[in-house]
Amino acid sequence: MNGTLIRLGLLAIVLLVVAVISLGVGPANLSPLRVMRVLAGAEDAPSDDAPGNATTIVWDLRLPRVLLASLIGAGLAASGAGYQGLFRNPLADPFVIGASSGAALGATVAIACGMPSMTWLLALIGSLSAVGSVYVIATVGGQTPVTSLLLAGVAVNSFLAAVASLLMFLNEQQLFAIFEWLMGSIASRHWPDVWFSMPLILVGTLVLWSASRGLDALTFGEETAAALGMRIVHFRALVVTAASLTTAACVSAAGTIGFVGLIAPHAARFIVGARHVMLIPTSCLTGAILLLLADDFARTVVAPSELPVGIITAVIGGPFFIYLLKTSQRNSA
């Protein structure tokens, strides 16, 4: 356990280092030392190497972006760990039961109707409504089999994606704005986005962490978990609700950023093992680091333009998913 805690502490230090570096990345590059001086309140005057006020750049422009990226990366990773443990499937991710397509439809409605300020709210409502619909469809006689939940998720995802595509076709003038949101981006996010997302992500993640023992029990099968006294139906509803709330908050704040919830839990298992009490916080740290690095790359690789960070995570996550799929096939053969 001591070795595991040490690895967790080292990962937290890595996250802090990456965050400080990220605060210096941009059109006005700042050294890590200068960033730390600004955060400590030791500098507030403009200089030749950083046009404008360094304090404004760090505190008003980059710090909310870095915090939001960390929160979203951590939230998606925690949700991914929860879904993978619940479904006992290493290929599960936060978007498996409709959270992404529901948020996409909500955001599309907001943008198409000329209500960009309502995008986050309608995306949140759409995401939670989609997950709720999937759960209702999959529940029969008070039971919600995992297979039914996954199949209902596929069906609802396809239907909502089709409706969103229809709205995009009928609103060509808003097509670029919709695509920009769907590709996932943390650009132009400010403190209000952080304050909105933070409580939802933190609450959902803490609930998932509190469910660690139950998720560990499920690794031996539902029959074994039930024999140990677990109320499977209620527990599944708790995990799905917490993971979906967290995912909905992440997606409504930054759009569709895929694969973080798939990659981070696997990296965390390599670092601390499969016990969820350590896996979930380690996944959070790993997901935050991954999304921060992806965002740094997104805003520098084609500078002065900026790529949506969802493209970067998809480029990384696609091959990783194929690797997991082939590994899973070999293990089951």
> Taking Cα atoms as reference points, which of 286, 95, 263 lies closest to residue 184?
95
- Structural domain span for residue 208: 2-332
CA distance 36 to 282: 25
> Taking Cα atoms as reference points, which of 186, 323, 324 lies closest to residue 256?
186
| Number of compact structural domains in the chain | 1
pTM for this prediction: 0.92
Cβ-proximal residues to 253 (8 Å cutoff; 6+ apart), any chain: 68, 72, 120, 189, 193, 196, 197
CATH of the domain at 13: 1.10.3470.10
Cβ-proximal residues to 251 (8 Å cutoff; 6+ apart), any chain: 99, 100, 103, 104, 123, 127, 257
Kindly report which listed range (47-56, 229-238, 291-300) carries the lowest average pLDDT score: 47-56
Residue 331 has pLDDT above 80, yes or no: no
Q: What is the pLDDT of residue 51?
A: 45
Tell whether the torsion through CA atoms of 148, 257, 18 and 320 is positive or negative: positive
Q: What is the pLDDT of residue 50?
A: 47
Q: What is the pLDDT of residue 42?
A: 77
Q: Is 151 exposed, middle or buried (0-12, 13-18, 19+ CB in 10 A)?
A: middle
Q: What is the pLDDT of residues 231-245, one digit of tens each?
A: 988 998 899 999 989
Residue 71 has pLDDT above 90, yes or no: yes
CA distance 268 to 281: 9
- Residue 259 gets which letter from DSSP? S
Residue type, 50: A
